[in-house]
Amino acid sequence: MSIPSIATHKPVVSCKCSAYLDWLQMLSGACLVLFMWAHLFLVSSVIIGPGVMNAIGHFFESTGMAQVGGPVIFLVFLSHFVLAARKIPFTSKEQGVMLANAKRMRHSDTWLWVVQAVTAMIILIMGAIHMWVVLTDLPITAQKSAARVQNGWWMLFYLLLLPMVELHVGIGFYRIMMKWGVIDSKGRFGFKKKENLLTAVMISIGVITLLRFWFLAIK
């Protein structure tokens, strides 16, 4: 069963080209899903201790993975958004059509697409800010991260960005599994429940990590 799409009067692209672009969007999305989960677990190492996070940060810095991998992830991030933007409604007219179709279809997966579109716009801005701040202040350390979180509005910034990212990633993972045929229409409800639980766990880990940074003593 395919995920329902929402007509928004976007320019028509040849079927063959559109299929290739859809595959690139899906592959870039899959890479970002894996990256975001790995990123969350690596940063949450501060819960064990600042020394653990610093050791991981030093490893990525000394091997050049932070200097090279950061810009690469940023390019994948922008490429994925450009590919997805083909189907995202930007004008008020398109947004009206999207909401009208979602209400008329009364399909839960359609509303998931709406959530993905909304969170994508938020992540584009906030995610770019986060990556710029981090990549222009290498190396990554627990003390630097803690200082940033404890500096006024950054805590609120991450408390908003965290659920947006995890919702977007969770829904994206579910849709990829559907499109690749890993789960069928009969198993999608059970899989969706498990994915919702996974998203809740990820958000919980993220909140605990932010609290650890908030209360971490800065030398």
Amino acid at 189: F
Is residue 135 a contact partner of residue 72, using CB atoms and an 8 Å limit? no
Question: 17 vs 21, 83, 92, 172, CA distance in Å?
Answer: 6, 12, 27, 22
- Give the global pTM: 0.76
The yes-or-no verdict on residue 4 having pLDDT over 50 is no
**94 within domain boundaries:** yes
* Binding site feature residues for heme b: 39, 80, 130, 168
What are the pLDDT digits (tens) for 178-213? 777 777 667 777 778 888 899 899 999 999 999 999
And the tokens for 178? Answer: 């559907």
Helices (H), 106-141: 108-135
Identify the top-confidence range among 81-90, 112-121, 159-168: 159-168
**8 within domain boundaries:** no
And the tokens for 76? Answer: 């994948």
**2 within domain boundaries:** no
Q: Residue 55 sits in which domain range?
A: 15-215
What are the pLDDT digits (tens) for 111-154? 677 788 888 888 888 988 998 888 888 888 889 999 899 887 89
Q: With cut-offs at 50, 70 and 90, classify the pLDDT of residue 48.
A: very high
* Binding site feature residues: 39, 80, 130, 168
**123 within domain boundaries:** yes
Across the chain, mean pLDDT equals: 80
What are the pLDDT digits (tens) for 98-109? 666 656 656 566
**9 within domain boundaries:** no
Residue partners of 128: CB distance under 8 A and separation at least 6: 74, 77
Nearest-CA neighbor of 164 among 135, 125, 111, 210?
A: 125
Cα 219 versus chain centre, distance: 32
And the tokens for 100? Answer: 């009208």
Which CATH number characterizes residue 195's domain? 1.20.1300.10
What are the pLDDT digits (tens) for 35-44? 999 999 999 9
Q: How many domains does the chain have?
A: 1
Strands (E), the chain: none
